[in-house]
């Protein structure tokens, strides 16, 4: 779902231009960024349920618990508000939280409500990954919508060489997202 998260951030950039693209891209992946050191130190793990795209159960009980993500979204939103105003702050917080919502859609039930799955509450996940066709289509749609909206925003109000540059930046962004999806599908990295 790496590429899908980026697609959403690109779409948001078109609507909230005061927040830089890098901040939206980072916000959309923030809980996966936190997941990396926890994964490397074996605190959070990934269990393969088969080969190929989305065949995994992710035990990310701290970085991906509903409560941790809500707290992180509020804190990041408050920080972002200092730089990009009220609307920017709200957007960044919402984009941080959007990662969890998209994960909820695709993950098998492995997302805890409380950190460390405290109280052994039911794990959440709607499991769209069970159908690689459905989940890949959803991700492609997010990439397409994000690229289209970003491109339209980037070229608006520009002309001549600036427009060409803006168009190129949109195409590069779309290609990078497709490469992310391809690496996911081919299970590289």
Closer of 103 and 139 to Zn ion (Cβ): 103
Smallest distance, Å, CB 57 to Zn ion?
A: 13
The interface with Zn ion within residues 125-154 (CB under 5 A) comprises none
Strands (E), the chain: 45-48, 56-59
Smallest distance, Å, CB 99 to Zn ion?
A: 6
> From CA 7, how far away is CA 174, in angstroms rounded?
8
Binding-residue total with Zn ion (CB under 5 A): 2
β-partners of residue 56 are 48
Closer of 56 and 169 to Zn ion (Cβ): 56
Closer of 100 and 150 to Zn ion (Cβ): 100
Smallest distance, Å, CB 100 to Zn ion?
A: 8
Among 25, 32, 97, 135, binds Zn ion (CB under 5 A): 32
- Token pair of 160, please? 């001549």
> From CA 126, how far away is CA 133, in angstroms rounded?
15
> Is residue 122 helix, strand or coil?
coil
* x-or-dash string of contact with Zn ion, 51-90, rule CB under 5 A: ----------------------------------------
Cα 55 to chain centroid, rounded: 18
The interface with Zn ion within residues 100-119 (CB under 5 A) comprises 103
DSSP of 13-50? HHH-TTS-HHHHHHHHHHHHHHHHHHHHTTSSEEEESS
Q: List residues binding Zn ion (CB under 5 A).
A: 32, 103
């Amino acid at each position: 779902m790496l590429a899908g998260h980026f697609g959403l951030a690109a779409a948001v950039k078109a609507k909230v231009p005061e927040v830089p693209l890098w901040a939206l891209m980072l916000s959309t992946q923030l809980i996966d960024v936190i997941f990396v050191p926890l994964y490397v130190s074996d605190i959070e793990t990934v269990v393969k349920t088969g080969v190929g795209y989305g065949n995994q159960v992710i035990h990310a009980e701290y970085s991906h618990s509903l409560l941790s993500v809500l707290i992180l979204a509020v804190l990041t939103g408050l920080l972002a508000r200092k730089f990009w105003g009220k609307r920017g702050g709200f957007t960044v917080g919402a984009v941080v939280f959007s990662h969890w919502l998209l994960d909820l859609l695709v993950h098998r039930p492995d997302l805890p409500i409380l950190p460390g799955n405290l109280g052994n509450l039911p794990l959440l996940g709607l499991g769209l990954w069970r159908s690689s066709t459905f989940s890949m289509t959803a991700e492609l749609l997010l990439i397409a919508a994000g690229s289209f909206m970003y491109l339209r925003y980037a070229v608006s109000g520009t002309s001549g060489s600036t427009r060409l540059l803006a168009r190129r930046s949109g195409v590069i962004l779309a290609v990078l997202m497709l490469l992310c999806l391809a690496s996911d599908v081919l299970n590289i990295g």
